[in-house]
Amino acid sequence: MAAYLIRRLWQMVPTLFGVVLLVFFLFKYFGGDPAEILGGLNATPEQIAAIRQQLGLDQSVWVQLGIYFKSILSFDWGKSWATNEAVGHLFATRLPATLTVMLPILILDVLIALPIAMWVAYRRGSLADRTIMVITTVALSISFLVYIIVGQYLFGFQLGWFPVQGWSDSVWTNLITYTPLPVLLAVMVGLAPQTRLYRSFFLDEMGQDYVRTARAKGLTENTVMFKHVLRNAMIPILTNIGLALPGVFVGSFLIEVFFSIPGLGREVLLAVNRSDYPVIQAVTVYLAAITMIINLLVDVMFKVVDPRVVLK
Amino acid sequence: MNVPAGAAKVERSEGVWHAAWRRFKSDRVGLVCAVIVIVFLLLIVVAAVGGVARNWQQEVGVANAPPTFLGPRAAEATGAIEVPKGPNVDLSAVDPLAPRYKEWDERAAQFKTSEVPKAETLAMGADRLGRDVLSKAVKGTQISVFVGVMAALVATGLGTLLGAFAGFFGGKVGDFLEWLYNVFEAIPGILLIFAFAAVFGRGISTVVLILGLTGWTGLYRQVRAEFIKHRNREYVRSAEAIGASVWSRIFSHILPNVSHVILVRMSLLVVGFIKAEVILSYLGLGVGIEDVSWGTMLAEAQAELILGYWWQLAAATLFMAVFVTAFSLMADALRDALDPKLRGLE
């Protein structure tokens, strides 16, 4: 196990190195001149030259790459060009809002999709199954945007059940007042693909021999479904949740934009619109690292859940 | 071919495309959806050459004209201020400009202003500027689908090429490409798109490029797996034995045998890219201001909805829902027909 962990962590190094190279050269060669962005429209050539020198842009590419690596390893990303806020601070203050919205969405998605998927899988081919499959196909074809626009208008503006948007400093107020509408809408959107996916997992398991054996032993349908099928189907479902976890950090930036939630996703989008490179670069590199670590944890978790799994 | 007379006709086994077409034909839902998609594609071609919706930018209706079936909007109340009646007071004795009015009137008469009659209602209503929503939706369909298909082509080309090399050569090349794949996979998709959008700017070709460059990984993985499977098959070894070059083995021997997998993947990519384009355009990172797509229509529709003008939202949603539903069901049918092993995986 320890050897496995060390090898996996060691394998992350070249990948992370690649991510850093990708981000560096992407912004270096396609991203426009940082000095001109920083200097603004009225900067004199001397000012721009001064900024270039300050950022080390007058050095060779390799020296710049070295500076870049040093800043990553020392977790020093400098400051946002637009707000002069330290990037590390930006992370720490925006992440809680994102998690407040995204974790309930993730949990509710799974908790609601699981029983529906199990039910339609059990009644495969029935009218209910086909109806739900058609509904999910149509639901999937409508843009996420439409759900949010119509939902916000209907529930927030017309019916007045929820505040249209807003955020406060208290986690409880946020959870009780401001998150229900975004969570409701995001769950509505996420339910369709989730149900389809889980249904296919259940169908896979229900076709296995052990299900026939269990039935032949005379076990009740409830026992077969809940004790045998559900537990085995949980393996791919858990993988899927694990794969969805990194996405939680960027959050649903659309939700954050529409509902004015001061989260990480909205911050990234703002950074893109302002050409605020340090923020985009930092978020990209760190999220890549987080993604890889979560993937490793998911693999290790498998070993715990399913003793048959051999870690290679 | 020298077949002796009277010999039994050489039975050729059914080709993969024939078999697929036979399976596809029996899928009625898939067939109907394919027809819908073809109708849309025809509409797009006609719109692209300027047959319809060429003048989508013309302000043909009154601002926010409602759809025809709703009837024209009731005239707004003008307020309680009484309009004065009777002739105006004659001020010409004290008005210093009075002597020149006649001259100005004559000069003004030389220019003709013609009032273009603006429609009170349009088939699907008008937007804020009085542009026909139906034309906009048709033009938007053209742009959105074009972006989706082109981006899918770019991603497919990239994924196929890299996947073929990685799978066929393996070794150092394979390791390098796997590393590249891992790098792209490590970054959450939407963030990668944002990072590319931040540096590349806006415009139709840019969106195609961004989506294509960030979306090739899934296809790469599958093509690579197929090539690994095929590279040591007997027919490839035989081709090598008769002196077929590396290129010809990759592209004319193996590639046709895995093309059905690529086609299925590509059709799934189109749907994903269309949805991504809509969101990017909504956020202002997609097509430019001069163009219209489903995303920009939705962006305008949001402000209109608050005022009660729901038709632009409805038009964009309707066009998109019909096309994407038809296309995904067609892709499903295509997958079942071309790759029966994959059935039920999605």
**pLDDT, tens digit, 9 for 90 and up, residues A216-238:** 988 888 888 888 888 888 888 88
Identify all chain A residues contacting B341, using CB atoms and an 8 Å cutoff.
none
Residue spans of alpha helices (H) in B170-293: 171-186, 189-200, 204-214, 217-230, 234-241, 246-248, 255-282
pLDDT in tens, A120-139: 888 887 888 888 888 888 88
Residue of chain A nearest B189, judged by CA positions = A247
Average pLDDT, integer, range B315-331: 89
Cα B145 from Cα B270, distance rounded (Å): 8
CA distance B141 to chain A (A): 14
Residues of A in contact with B294 (CB under 8 A): 143
> Least CB-CB distance to A250: which of B188, B317, B321?
B188
- Residue B10 pLDDT: 66
Q: What is the mean pLDDT of chain A?
A: 82
Chain B residue closest to A198 (CA)? B346
Cβ within 8 Å of B, A 118-137: 137
CA distances, A64 to each of A56, B29, B193 (Å): 7, 57, 24
Distance (Å, rounded) from C-alpha A264 to C-alpha A290? Answer: 14
Residues B186, A269: C-beta atoms closer than 8 Å: no
CB contact under 8 A, B275 and A292: no
Asked if the C-beta of A269 comes within 8 angstroms of chain B's C-beta atoms, the answer is: yes
Residue A277, exposed/middle/buried by CB under 10 A (0-12, 13-18, 19+)?
A: buried
Give dist(CA B321, CA B338) in Å, integer.
25
pLDDT at B159 over 90: yes
Higher pLDDT: A182 or A175? It is A182
How far is it, in rounded angstroms, from Cα A49 to Cα A72? 25
Q: Which residue does chain A place closest to B272, by CA atoms?
A: A141
Query: What chain A residue is nearest to B188 in terms of C-alpha separation?
Result: A247
Chain B CB within 8 Å of residue A16 CB? yes
Is residue B192 within 8 angstroms of chain A, CB to CB? yes
> In the block, which residue shows the tokens 């300027």?
B50
A141 CB within 8 Å of a chain B CB:
yes
What is the pLDDT averaged over residues A202-215? Answer: 87
Task: Tell me: pLDDT of B157 over 90.
Answer: yes
Q: Is the pLDDT of residue A279 over 50?
A: yes
In this model, does residue B294 exceed pLDDT 70? yes
Rg of chain B over all Cα atoms, to the nearest angstrom: 30
Q: Is the pLDDT of residue A311 over 50?
A: yes
CB proximity A164 to B under 8 Å: no
Q: Which residue has the higher pLDDT, A53 or B172?
A: B172
Q: Is the Cβ–Cβ distance between B239 and B203 less than 8 Å? A: no
CB atoms within 10 A of CB B296: 23
> CB distance B282–A145 less than 8 Å?
yes
Return the residue of B nearest to A246 by Cα: B188
Give the closest-approach CA distance of B296 to chain A in angstroms: 11
Are the beta carbons of A198 and A111 closer than 8 angstroms?
A: no
Residue in A203, A246, A269 closest to B188 by CB: A246
Contact B143, B204 (CB under 8 A): yes
- Report the residue of chain B nearest A29, measured CA to CA: B199
Shortest Cα distance, chain B CAs vs residue A28, angstroms = 9
Of A14, A137, A142, the CB nearest to B317: A142
Taking 80 as the threshold, does the pLDDT of residue B51 lie above it? no
CA torsion through residues B20, B25, B26, B28, sign: positive
pLDDT of residue B198 exceeding 80, the answer is no
The closest of A56, A141, A102 to B323, measured between CA atoms, is A141
Which range (A9-13, A166-170, A249-253, A264-268) has the least confidence? A249-253
- Those residues with Cβ within 8 angstroms of residue B346's Cβ, 6 or more apart along the chain or in another chain: A196, A197, A200, B332, B335
CA nearest to B300 within chain A: A149
Q: Which of B303, B7, B98, B197 is nearest to A268 (CA)?
A: B197
Report in angstroms the alpha-carbon separations of B340 from A208, A282, B328, B333.
19, 44, 17, 10
Looking at beta carbons, which pairs linking A175-183 to residues 24 or more positions away fall under 8 Å? A175/A100, A175/A104, A178/A259, A178/A261, A179/A100, A179/A101, A179/A104, A181/A151, A181/A152, A181/A155, A181/A156, A181/A259, A182/A101, A182/A105, A182/A252, A182/A255, A182/A258, A182/A259, A182/A261, A183/A101, A183/A104, A183/A105, A183/A108
Contact A57, A27 (CB under 8 A): no
**pLDDT tens column, B62-77:** 777 778 777 777 766 6
What whole-number percentage of chain B has pLDDT above 90? 13
Of B184, B191, B320, the CB nearest to A143: B320
Tell me the sheet residues that pair with B119: B61
Please check whether residue B187 touches A, CB under 8 A.
Answer: yes
- Contact list in B for residue A275 (CB cut-off 8 A) is 198
Q: Does A290 touch chain B (CB under 8 A)?
A: no
* A:197-236 residues touching chain B, CB 8 A cutoff: 197, 200, 203
Are B279 and A196 an interchain contact pair (Cβ–Cβ within 8 Å)? Answer: no
Subunit contact B305:A150, Cβ cutoff 8 A? yes
71-100 in chain A: CB under 8 A from chain B = none
- The residue behind tokens 């939706």 is B137
Chain A positions in Cβ-Cβ contact with residue B191 (cut-off 8 Å): 250, 268, 283-284, 287
Task: Out of B302, B325, B346, name the one closest to residue A200 (CB).
Answer: B346
Share of chain B above pLDDT 70, in %: 92
Give the per-residue pLDDT at B194. 81
pTM of structure: 0.82
Q: What pLDDT is attached to residue A194?
A: 87
- Kindly determine whether residue B344 and residue A203, on different chains, have CB atoms separated by under 8 Å: yes
pLDDT the model gives residue B344: 44
Q: A–B: how many Cβ contacts below 8 A?
A: 121
- Average pLDDT score, chain B: 83
Residue of A nearest to B302 (CA): A149
Measured between CB atoms, does B345 come within 8 Å of chain A?
yes
Query: For residue B345, is pLDDT > 50?
Result: no
Count of beta carbons in the 10 Å neighbourhood of residue B227: 25
**Cα B160 to Cα B220: distance, rounded to the nearest angstrom:** 6
